[in-house]
Amino acid sequence: MNHPNDIKAIIFDIGGVVARSPLIGVSKFERQLGLPLNYLNVAMTARGAKGAFQQLETGRVQFPDFYLQFGNEMSDVNFNNQAYRHHCQRNLNACPTLPTHLSVDGKELWKTMMSEASSYNDPIIQVIRRLKASGRYKVAALTNNFNLAPGVKEGDDEALGIAPKEIKNLFDDFIESSQVGMRKPDPLFYRYALDRLGVEPHAAVFLDDIGMNLKAARALGIKTIRVGIHDVEPAIRELQKFVPDVDLFSSNSSSTKQQKL
């Protein structure tokens, strides 16, 4: 077992860790449409690498084409109901009544998701600043994100959820799926990040809010910490065990504060 001091890099997800999770926005949208919990989230995941959301995050589809493709996929009750029934069976849950017709506006769903991802978790930001100031660790971001279309400005709908310069500058390295053409949980994306940081898997700690992203990282030997989308403090306490030489809680509020940047 590696000693905590063997850790050389701390890698943070952005949406759901440094920023609020877009999944909170998905849940809001599901409630507005009277859909079962996680219906749209399951539908997105089930599309795999060919889904609009996944292709946006690897730069293979752009705005505004994304909105139409995304809306069509989220409105496809035949595919989505089958995916949700499988989700219920896998989790040994009784399957609720599923929609027979659905019309999802891809742009409105996206705006709802990215509005949540535009608020930032101050306790996590303070942790990043303390780690960076210590000079003892490489501090990086590994994010599934998307490219802005030419001419899009800050404040435009298409810019919602894009990490601003103030966030990117917190890190020694900011590794983006849209620039690399790979996304989590692809093992090659993690290996690319490790190579770029110059560290071995056992010397890295990765924080994310999504189980399958963490599972893929663990399979490579990376230490992982799951971050709660409503409460980040337990994750900070777990991270503290890996970096005992940096006080992550000095002057930190015990509550999870969000701030708009």
In degrees and rounded to multiples of 5, residue 224 shows phi and psi of -130, 150
pLDDT at position 155 is 73
pLDDT at position 259 is 54
CATH 3.40.50.1220 fits 4-21+119-260, yes or no: no
Please state, in angstroms and rounded to a whole number, the distance separating the CA atoms of residues 191 and 189: 5
Element at 55 (helix H, strand E): helix 52-57
* Max CA distance (Å), the chain: 56
pLDDT at position 150 is 79
pLDDT at position 244 is 97
Return residue ranges of the chain for CATH 3.40.50.1000: 4-21+119-260
pLDDT at position 153 is 78
Structure tokens at 207: 């924080």
Report the candidate in 2, 1, 3, 4 with the shortest Cα–Cα distance to residue 244.
Answer: 4
pLDDT at position 255 is 43
pLDDT at position 159 is 85
Which positions of the chain have pLDDT values less than 70?
1-5, 251-261
User: Model pTM?
Assistant: 0.90
pLDDT at position 2 is 52
Q: What fold does the segment set 22-115 form as a domain?
A: DNA polymerase; domain 1 (1.10.150)
Return residue ranges of the chain for CATH 1.10.150.240: 22-115
pLDDT at position 251 is 61
